[in-house]
Amino acid sequence: MKSKGRVLIVSPEMVPFAKTGGLADVAGALPLALSSLGWEVRTIIPKYRMVDEDRFGLRDSLPKGTSISVPVGERVEKGTLKETQMPNSTIVSYFLVHPEFYDREELYRDRARDGDYVDNDERFIFFARGVLEALKAVGWKPQVIHCNDWQTGLIPLFLKSVYAQDSFFQGVATLFSIHNLGYQGNFPATTFPKLCLDGNLFKPMGPLEFWGQVSFLKAGLVYADILNTVSPRYAQEIQSDQKYGLGMEGVLRSRSKDLYGIVNGIDQRVWNPQTDSFIPYRYSEADLSGKERNKFALLKRVGLPIPWGRVPLMGIISRLADQKGFDLIAEAIDKIMNLDLQLVLLGTGDEKYHLIFQEVARKYPHKAGVNLRFDDELAHLIEAGADIFLMPSQYEPCGLNQLYSLRYGTIPIVRETGGLADTIQDYEPKSNQGTGFVFRDYTSQGMLKAIKRALTLYQDQTSWERLMRRAMREDFSWERSAGEYARLYEKAMAKGNGG
């Protein structure tokens, strides 16, 4: 079959190689879905310590003694390139090697100083320009370079400045994906000379300047051929006002005709109650009996008693932070725990919320199972065993857990924002339609009202099971999302006249 086009997906992290958050899941699933649609796809990330060379069979991409050179200020940094095939595919995955930059305990944060690495600017200057040098070194020319988040934002800028006259990159187009505008890659003015670019680019209001800082995100927003973010609602919100745009709303409005929203997909090979290897009892829309058995297994796992009667179990899997609505949850937690429900929480985050939920566990030992850690197996069991999933985000570019919850028949309670608004339809009792419970105002009262609506319906087992089955029929597969990305690649290729 003739390839529909050649795409390089560039990301700072990617499943199964290296992960800190949902970006890695997206970057790892999209290439496989695109490949199944007939695209020739390759990927590249930095070679972090986390990447297991033996497990994934990494090998040298370049002849021995060959290196990739990147100027960073007045010095030249040298790296190498390794590659492997993405598991269960023919997709070539590259890794940019520079031990001083990437052979570290964590990907972006310095645990010793509890903050970002002080040289993150240099690490991702090297990565952005190193990606382009790597393509030349291996002689593979994509038609589209798909850049993800601020760590890749310099790539469109370098293509249209340093490499503008380089025949190798003629016709190469760029798509820049914003996964969360809250992470911008803003650095002091002292970073600019390290880019080795024309000084006009850093004038006030210029394409790189953001409140006196150098913004890698803004570079991507200004110079990429096509922009997208991870839901249509979020694409609107980030252009609307400072609350969502975080200072970038003017730049985004100026690119509105090139800005699209595509809801993330979920990897149904991993998140599927019919095949999930992490859960003890598999089930389907046609046979829901395994879900209740998973609920009992989950209660036992987290040390909660099996209740008498029909008592719902509400799950939360999240980073514990204000953005995820934990200020609302903390404000209302005693009222929540006084409702006829049980709660299981999994996640880590801000210390203040660790302390709050440690106290919740002590105060309500028979009603709250609190797990302040990362545990992938438990995350699957919560999705399979909980009846309800709470996700009251202040803002949410897309969100994945509400999509996993739909797939597992675990009914989401969400706030009407970003991808949550795009993916969850509020339950309407008169028409008996909807896939979850949605509240609009960012208040604990609004959240509590939605929880009580869910608890009321839960007592009507017939209506609840009908709602579960309707949720499980929703299609948020990567095949659907990949088709939308393919259309954006075609738009980018038309702008770049890629050949």
Read off the pLDDT band of 495 (50, 70, 90). Answer: confident
Tokens for 372, please give them. Answer: 């302040």
Average pLDDT for 399-418: 97
Residue 432 in 3-state DSSP?
A: coil
Residues 404 and 400: their CA atoms lie apart, in Å, by 6
Full domain range(s) for residue 343: 289-475
Q: Are residues 433 and 487 in the same domain?
A: no
Alpha helices in 364-435 (DSSP H): 376-385, 401-407, 418-423
Report if residue 270 sits inside a domain. Answer: no
Q: Are residues 247 and 347 in the same domain?
A: no
Q: Are residues 84 and 226 in the same domain?
A: yes
Report if residue 271 sits inside a domain. Answer: no
Q: Are residues 208 and 303 in the same domain?
A: no
Residues 298 and 277: their CA atoms lie apart, in Å, by 15
The one-character DSSP state at 349 is: B
Length of the chain, please? Answer: 499
Residue 404 in 3-state DSSP?
A: helix
Read off the pLDDT band of 144 (50, 70, 90). Answer: very high
Residues 478 and 270: their CA atoms lie apart, in Å, by 12
Angle of helix 444-458 relative to helix 461-472, nearest 10 degrees, comes to 110
Residue 92 in 3-state DSSP?
A: strand
Q: In sequence order, what are the residues at sequence separation of 6 or more whose Cβ sits closer than 8 angstroms to the Cβ of residue 181?
A: 217, 229, 238, 244, 245, 246, 248, 397
Q: Are residues 163 and 19 in the same domain?
A: yes
Place of tokens 């660790």: 354
Q: Are residues 243 and 312 in the same domain?
A: no
pLDDT of 12 > 90? The answer is yes
The one-character DSSP state at 169 is: G
Predicted local confidence at residue 167, as pLDDT: 97
Report if residue 87 sits inside a domain. Answer: yes
Average pLDDT for 285-307: 97
Higher confidence at residue 499 or residue 39?
39
Residues 124 and 13: their CA atoms lie apart, in Å, by 12
CA 7 to chain centroid = 20
Average pLDDT for 84-104: 97
Residue 377 in 3-state DSSP?
A: helix
Residues 210 and 152: their CA atoms lie apart, in Å, by 17
**CATH number of the domain that residue 101 is part of:** 3.40.50.2000
Report if residue 198 sits inside a domain. Answer: yes
Task: Tell me the percentage of the chain whose pLDDT exceeds 90.
Answer: 92
pTM: 0.92
Number of domains in the chain: 2
Residue 296: count other Cβ atoms within 10 Å of its Cβ: 14
Report if residue 364 sits inside a domain. Answer: yes
Q: Are residues 326 and 459 in the same domain?
A: yes
The DSSP secondary structure of 238-302, one letter per residue, reads HHH-HHHHTT-HHHHHHTGGGEEE----B-TTTS-TTT-TTSSS---SS--HHHHHHHHHHHHHT
Q: Are residues 25 and 162 in the same domain?
A: yes
Average pLDDT for 90-100: 98
Q: Are residues 26 and 99 in the same domain?
A: yes
H-run or E-run covering 124: helix 120-138
**Which of 1, 58, 84 is CA-nearest to residue 35?**
1
Report if residue 275 sits inside a domain. Answer: no
Residues 451 and 390: their CA atoms lie apart, in Å, by 8
Please confirm whether the linkage preceding 16 is cis (ω < 30° from 0): yes
Predicted local confidence at residue 347, as pLDDT: 94
219 neighbors 400 (Cβ within 8 angstroms): no
pLDDT of 354 > 80? The answer is yes
Residue 477 in 3-state DSSP?
A: strand
Residue 106 in 3-state DSSP?
A: coil
128 neighbors 152 (Cβ within 8 angstroms): yes
Residue 105 in 3-state DSSP?
A: coil
Report if residue 130 sits inside a domain. Answer: yes
Q: Are residues 225 and 353 in the same domain?
A: no
Q: Are residues 420 and 351 in the same domain?
A: yes
pLDDT of 352 > 60? The answer is yes
Residues 71 and 118: their CA atoms lie apart, in Å, by 18
The DSSP secondary structure of 193-243, one letter per residue, reads GGG---GGGGSTTSSSEETTEEEHHHHHHHH-SEEEES-HHHHHHHHH-HH
Predicted local confidence at residue 1, as pLDDT: 56
Q: Are residues 200 and 89 in the same domain?
A: yes
Report if residue 13 sits inside a domain. Answer: yes
The DSSP secondary structure of 3-18, one letter per residue, reads -S-EEEEE-S-BTTTB
CA 131 to chain centroid = 21
Q: pLDDT per residue over 310-322, tens digit each?
A: 999 999 999 999 9
Residues 263 and 242: their CA atoms lie apart, in Å, by 22
Calculate the average pLDDT of the chain.
95
Q: pLDDT per residue over 161-212, tens digit each?
A: 999 999 999 999 999 999 999 999 999 999 999 999 998 899 998 899 999 9
143 neighbors 56 (Cβ within 8 angstroms): no
